[in-house]
Amino acid sequence: MTDKVLQLALAQLNFKVGDLTANLAKIGEALDEVSQSAPECELVIFPELALTGYPLEDLVNRPDFFLELESIEPALLKLSKKRPFLLGRPVHHAGAIYNAVSLYAAGEIISTYHKQNLPNYGVFDEKRTFTAGVEPTVVEFKGHRLGLLICEDLWSADIVQATAKAGADILIGVNASPYEMNKLGQRVGILAARCVENTLPLVYVNAIGGQDELVFDGNSMVLDKKGELCVRLPHCEESIEYVVFQGKNVLTKLLPNEQSLYAATYQALVLAVKDYVNKNGFPGVILGLSGGIDSALVLALAVDALGAERVHAVMMPYTYTAEISVEDAKKQAVDMGCAFDSIPIQPMVRSFMGGLEPLFANTGRDTTEENIQARCRGIILMALSNKYGKLLLTTGNKSELAVGYCTLYGDMCGGFAPIKDVPKTLVYELSRYRNSLGPAIPERVIERPPSAELAPDQKDEDSLPPYDILDAIIDGYAEQDMSISELVAQGYPEESVCRVIQLIERNEYKRQQGAVGPKITKRNFGKDRRIPITHGYLQTILASYKAGQ
Amino acid sequence: MTDKVLQLALAQLNFKVGDLTANLAKIGEALDEVSQSAPECELVIFPELALTGYPLEDLVNRPDFFLELESIEPALLKLSKKRPFLLGRPVHHAGAIYNAVSLYAAGEIISTYHKQNLPNYGVFDEKRTFTAGVEPTVVEFKGHRLGLLICEDLWSADIVQATAKAGADILIGVNASPYEMNKLGQRVGILAARCVENTLPLVYVNAIGGQDELVFDGNSMVLDKKGELCVRLPHCEESIEYVVFQGKNVLTKLLPNEQSLYAATYQALVLAVKDYVNKNGFPGVILGLSGGIDSALVLALAVDALGAERVHAVMMPYTYTAEISVEDAKKQAVDMGCAFDSIPIQPMVRSFMGGLEPLFANTGRDTTEENIQARCRGIILMALSNKYGKLLLTTGNKSELAVGYCTLYGDMCGGFAPIKDVPKTLVYELSRYRNSLGPAIPERVIERPPSAELAPDQKDEDSLPPYDILDAIIDGYAEQDMSISELVAQGYPEESVCRVIQLIERNEYKRQQGAVGPKITKRNFGKDRRIPITHGYLQTILASYKAGQ
């Protein structure tokens, strides 16, 4: 066993899916920065699939993708003459594609490890594109034996143990692990268990950055052989930090201040907005500001992500819009310093009601008329988005998306949905958190009872259970797969439970046409939850529940 | 080896995902029908996961789903006293979930086989929800040895051979295999190979029915031990047929007339529309009829699927709508006998242009104004859909969806997209096929050069390459993963290739918000092709191609 000193750099960086040129440049810049900041550093560690970004989805199945990868290989080998590095990348081997990590050093690839544990649940589809490796890999490096692992491998005690048995004295896991509330503690617990099980230290390097519905949050870590956390890198920020080992001992101590869950979540959402907008090359964003709390929170997120000068807020009042909504919307926009316009929608709504009159004769008012209002707003916002090239942010929250309390092609219009995975109760918490940093959302917006303002004196709670109950039922049914009986046994009113799950199932078609937005909960309405539109399961469980009463 | 006679029933039926009550009833009715039609029949074979429908997606992970399955088990056992049957169903076993088929007979489950080859490519995600079985299953039944297999198992020579080695004298595969053009021949080829490899006959029972983006096409088959096709059931229709074996010999001969590819595809689309509408409980459909060929074909499909009385066509002319468009739309609606209305959109478009004027000062006309027209039409159609509960069919084809030649929240509005996987060149072929059955689509609609009619004298070919070239490039790039160089080498103009692939990649966000619609090609824009919205792959390949010139 060695007691040699080894200095590693943890390169927690933001790579872009498929942009090999930009990612190669970023790798080169990181190596340069290490040369300047820590010339004695012996190895730079990049995250999982850093070379290509993660997840590649079906792009990795394209033969031309591998031709591109081959063509930049000489540049990587050349970079490795500056300083050795561990780089996550997809590899082709014997007709199969692996999620791999390679040790590049002195112009050569010294070793390549193939990920063994391929996640194929939740948001992950790795078995669709990758073949699983079958062997541990321990590589000799400057007198140390580095056990290479990739992300989900660390979740498997057996895989890590096999790597330890193969002779590793330091475990190194490269990751692309997306943010989820309360996952950081879970990660630390799992990683500590792996250290303790094998009496080995562990280096955990995670990516950061927004990628469609995922936000990689960083929080890269080093734990010692007793499972103690010694080093943690920042949340949702690029960072390169240096860690010194002596044999199996971690000599570095570097822990950030603890952060509240709301702060961490807010920052993840800001990063998601920033990266979606910038990685897709939009000059800025536009959003509809209603005077309600959802759009107010989205405006704050957008301004924090992009700066006020890239944000355009538009109020679109109608007959049912309260005067205080107009006041509060304008106040927030002015306070935050972003562009603000108001376009009343009476003429547009009137034109549709006129054109439809012959076909609506002898019918009563219903949600059709409410949807027309929402859709006129959608057309205006999309016209502005089309004319000026700005991305339209849609402002719906998870609770309304769950039960369909939103208008498809209306307020659901938009390319990115920053709070689509934020339940309404959490919208309030995040708004209060944001205001604790400095004035952003007018207090009255937070205190007013929520209303869609699509009918006279409308309140959300006229149509829906109170949000604390609604959110709990949504979480129980859609995120925890609880049955009707279990939810009723937990004390939620039977009528509300049955109604909410009906709404959830009946609105799958809307969600499947909704914009993408960042996952922050255990199960989002996106890749995490894949349910058919056409199915009779709802009838089955309702009939069965009623028969059991 | 037995030379006993065995009569089997192939029950090619249409089950509904998750509707256990309806599916149980259908199983009972089928058994009754067999009792009446063929009392000497010894075994009824249902398709893959017939009890629950296919695909269940994440529904199968719900614990309450298995409670429901348990609760109907006594009814299934009771039915098996009438007559033995083979039934596909999900099973829980030792903490894992399997895609299984069970032999029910005389009130007992005699044997259960777990699918070994789980498809996890294209539209399939079986590794997400199921665990793979590891053993062949051969069950003794009335002197015969039946080798049980499920769908993708038949694609594996090894799995089938292991089943043969375990002593099977008849191979029985239950399936939920979706329609795809030219797949029938491929299926016959694979099944014949399995028969020849093992000198065994094979019974192939497929489901029928539409399920979101899939259409199960039936075409159940029996091949003899030489791989000769002896029996084939109808395409896209429910059917129960009887097949007599003597030992390993097939005594029944029952082959339908050959059908053209266009006929088969048209029928698959009709079934898709019919099942989406009826399984989701819509009273009927509404669609925008423009006088162009896409909406004309969708109208014909809708009328053939549902009857004219359930179809409402709406023309929404604007300044740029040609007089012959109005005439042809009305003529088709009248000819087909469906309800028809016309609502001019000038007042609506004008109201938006007025409201936006202050914000559009000093800007020129661009696609923004075209999109406003399309979105006004979307609002009208959705208002009618909301008011009368009818499903809005969206009429876009695969070519325009590929390159984004369609308006999000405009003509893309709708719950189901019958021709979203039909390239424009195939739209013409299907229209001509439909007219060969009887007058449906006015000839002038087929003969006119296609136009979106969103600007004066607009033609599709002003903005896009001719459709034969466009469709070939889309097929090459998006369906066959060909590179730019390969497409150019095939003779497509470099400029068109580069332009089309840019359009394909830049419009992923639109497609991800598009309605679901039936898959008929090898790779649809749906579950078959999973590409990130945010990625830099386009820049990578364009730069690389240009550098290589």
pTM of the model: 0.97
B548 — pLDDT class (breaks 50, 70, 90): confident
Best A23, A360, A535 member to test B by mutation, with max B CBs in 10 Å, is: A535
Mutation to test the A interface, candidates B58, B416, B534, B546, most A Cβ within 10 Å: B534
- Mode of pairing for the β-strands spanning B311-315 and B285-288: parallel
**pLDDT at A407 (0 to 100):** 98
How far apart CA B349 and CA B369 sit, in angstroms, is: 9
Which residues are within 8 A (CB) of A156 and not within 5 positions of it... i.e. 6 or more apart?
Answer: A116, A117
- Position B234: which residue type? P
Residue B295 confidence (pLDDT) above 80? yes
Contact A64 B532 (CB under 8 A): no
- Give the confidence band of B526 by pLDDT, cuts at 50, 70, 90: very high
Within a 10 A sphere around the Cβ of A108, how many other Cβ atoms? Answer: 12
Beta bridge partners of residue A502, listed in sequence order = none
Contact criterion met (CB below 8 Å) for B225 and B200: yes
CB neighbour class for B43 (10 Å; exposed up to 12, middle 13-18, buried from 19) = buried
d(CA B208, CA B205): 10
Task: Give the rounded distance of the alpha carbon of A297 from its chain centre.
Answer: 17
> Residue A462: its pLDDT value, please?
86
Token output for A130: 């990758």
| B127-144 per-position pLDDT tens digit | 999 999 999 999 999 999
**A282: part of which helix (H) or strand (E)?**
none
Residue of B nearest to A359 (CA): B384
3-state DSSP assignment of residue B137: strand
CA distances from B430 to B10, B219, B411, B425, B437 (A): 31, 21, 21, 9, 11
CA distance A208 to chain B (A): 15
Question: Which amino acid type is present at position B333?
Answer: A
CA distance A523 to A532: 16
What are the pLDDT digits (tens) for B217-253? Answer: 999 999 999 999 999 999 999 999 999 999 999 999 9
Closest-CA residue to B101 (of B174, B193, B197):
B174
CA distance A479 to A512: 17
| Inter-chain CB proximity B125 and A530 less than 8 Å | yes
B537 chain-A contacts, CB cut-off 8 A: 17-19, 59, 65
**DSSP secondary-structure letter at A133?**
P
Of the candidates B343, B516, B536, the beta carbon closest to that of A355 is on: B343
Alpha carbons B243 and B255: distance in angstroms, whole number: 12
Q: What band does B1 get if pLDDT is binned at 50, 70 and 90? A: low
User: A311-323: b or e for each residue (b if 16 or more CB lie within 10 Å)?
Assistant: bbbbbbbbebbee
Work out the minimum CA distance from A226 to partner chain B, whole angstroms. 33
Closest residue to A64, CB basis, from B71, B483, B539: B483
Handedness of CA A286, A181, A533, B531 (dihedral sign): positive
Contact B125 A121 (CB under 8 A): no
List per-residue pLDDT tens for chain A, 549 residues long: 678 999 999 999 999 999 999 999 999 999 999 999 999 999 999 999 999 999 999 999 999 999 999 999 999 999 999 999 999 999 999 899 999 999 999 999 999 999 999 999 999 999 999 999 999 999 999 999 999 999 999 999 999 999 999 999 999 999 999 999 999 999 999 999 999 999 999 999 999 999 999 999 999 999 999 999 999 999 999 999 999 999 999 999 999 998 999 999 999 999 999 999 999 999 999 999 999 999 999 999 999 999 999 999 999 999 999 999 999 999 999 999 999 999 999 999 999 999 999 999 999 999 999 999 999 999 999 999 999 999 999 999 999 999 999 999 999 999 999 999 999 999 999 999 999 999 999 999 999 999 989 988 888 888 899 999 999 999 999 999 999 999 999 999 999 999 999 999 999 999 999 999 999 999 999 999 999 999 999 999 999 999 987
* Contacts across the A-B interface (CB distance below 8 Å): 265
A215 contact residues in B (CB cutoff 8 A)? none
Closest-approach residue (CA) in chain B for A125: B128
Contact A532 B71 (CB under 8 A): no
- Measured between alpha carbons, how far is B415 from B444 in angstroms, rounded to an integer? 29
DSSP state of A393: B
3-state SS assignment for residue B218: strand
| Residues sharing a CB contact under 8 Å with residue A383, sequence separation 6 or more, in sequence order | B352, B356, B368, B371, B372
Catalytic (active site) residue B48: yes
The token pair at A199 is: 């009496």
Cβ atoms < 10 Å from Cβ of B541: 24
Query: Given strand B249-250, what is the order of strands in its sheet?
Result: B108-114, B96-105, B85-93, B43-45, B5-12, B239-246, B249-250
Q: What is the dihedral of CA A157, A162, A165, A169, to 10 degrees?
A: -70
Residue B166 has a pLDDT of: 98
Q: What are the helix and strand counts (H, E) for chain A? A: 19, 19
Please, are residues B80 and B105 in contact by the beta-carbon 8 Å criterion?
yes
Nearest chain B residue (CA) to A347: B351
Tokens of B348: 């609506």
Cα torsion B47, B121, A180, A89 to 10°: value is 160
Residue B336 has pLDDT above 70, yes or no: yes
Put simply, the answer to whether B68 touches A544 (Cβ < 8 Å) is yes
The ipTM of this complex is 0.96
| Alpha-carbon gap, residue B306 to B285, rounded angstroms | 9
